[in-house]
Amino acid sequence: MSSGYNRMKFQNSSDIKQLAEERFLAFLKEQGARKTPERMATLRCVYEMVGHFEVDQLYAKLLKESPGISRATVYNTLELLLKAKLVMKLQFGENRAYYERTIGAKQHDHLICNQCQQLLEFCDPGIQQIKDQMGEILQFHITHHTLILYGDCKKKSCPNLMK
């Protein structure tokens, strides 16, 4: 399995979910781990999420669909999904961890507001050029990157706007 974002083209979201399921099943088999309904429900739920999500958001959604699922099962399954490179964990600050699926995702970077913690995504081809250039200069195969910029909102809608 390749690390980082998958840049393959997909017909629709069911293609993405199917590929994620196939890769997860292969990973579980390779690890000698069992395929359980809870693990598969967690995977499906992750691949139905749009954008970044926190564990509590995923758990709340899963409880509606699988009322008996435990928080520990969700955390443990997320760890398996991380190892299988089917999700990416982004640590913003000391206590803020977000996850996002990797299959079907496009490379992007992040802006975080110090005041309201709003998370914004952006994509700049210049960053890709720098990554490629540095890899070539330093003879280093870069598989993926993360860029997080922190600052303060200037939006009037920011509830913690510094005046």
Residue 132 belongs to a domain with what CATH number?
Answer: 3.30.1490.190
Is residue 73 located within the same domain as residue 142? no
Place of tokens 């309904």: 37
Is the pTM value of this prediction over 0.85?
Answer: no
pLDDT, position 145:
77
Is 82 a member of any domain?
yes
Is 146 a member of any domain?
yes
Burial readout 94-114 (b: 16 or more C-beta within 10 A, e: otherwise): eeeebbbbbbbbeeeebebbe
Q: Which of 83, 101, 119 is the last residue of a domain?
A: 101
Is residue 125 located within the same domain as residue 141? yes
Whole-number Å distance between alpha carbons of 26 and 38:
17
Contacts 24+ apart (CB under 8 A), 49-54: 49/100, 49/101, 51/100, 51/121, 52/90, 52/98, 52/99, 52/100, 52/119, 53/98, 53/99, 53/100, 54/96, 54/97, 54/98, 54/99
Is 66 a member of any domain?
yes
Is residue 28 located within the same domain as residue 92? yes
Is residue 23 located within the same domain as residue 63? yes
Number of domains making up the chain? 2
Which SS3 state, helix, strand or coil, does residue 87 take? strand
Residue 14: both structure tokens together:
């069911």
Q: The domain that contains 55 carries what CATH number?
A: 1.10.10.10
Is residue 82 located within the same domain as residue 36? yes
Whole-number Å distance between alpha carbons of 61 and 102:
19
Residue 127 CB partners (closer than 8 Å, separation 6+): 109, 145, 147
pLDDT, position 106:
73
pLDDT (tens, 9 = 90+) of the chain, 163 residues, equals 233 333 334 446 788 899 999 999 999 999 999 999 999 999 999 999 888 899 999 999 999 988 889 999 999 999 999 999 999 898 876 677 889 888 877 777 888 888 777 778 788 888 889 989 999 999 999 877 778 788 888 877 776 655 4
Q: Which of 101, 122, 139 is the last residue of a domain?
A: 101
Is 7 a member of any domain?
no
Cα distances from 36 to residues 33, 67, 106, in angstroms, run: 9, 15, 29
DSSP state of 11: S
Which SS3 state, helix, strand or coil, does residue 139 take? coil
Instruction: Tell me which residue range forms the domain holding 129.
Output: 109-151
Is residue 63 located within the same domain as residue 137? no
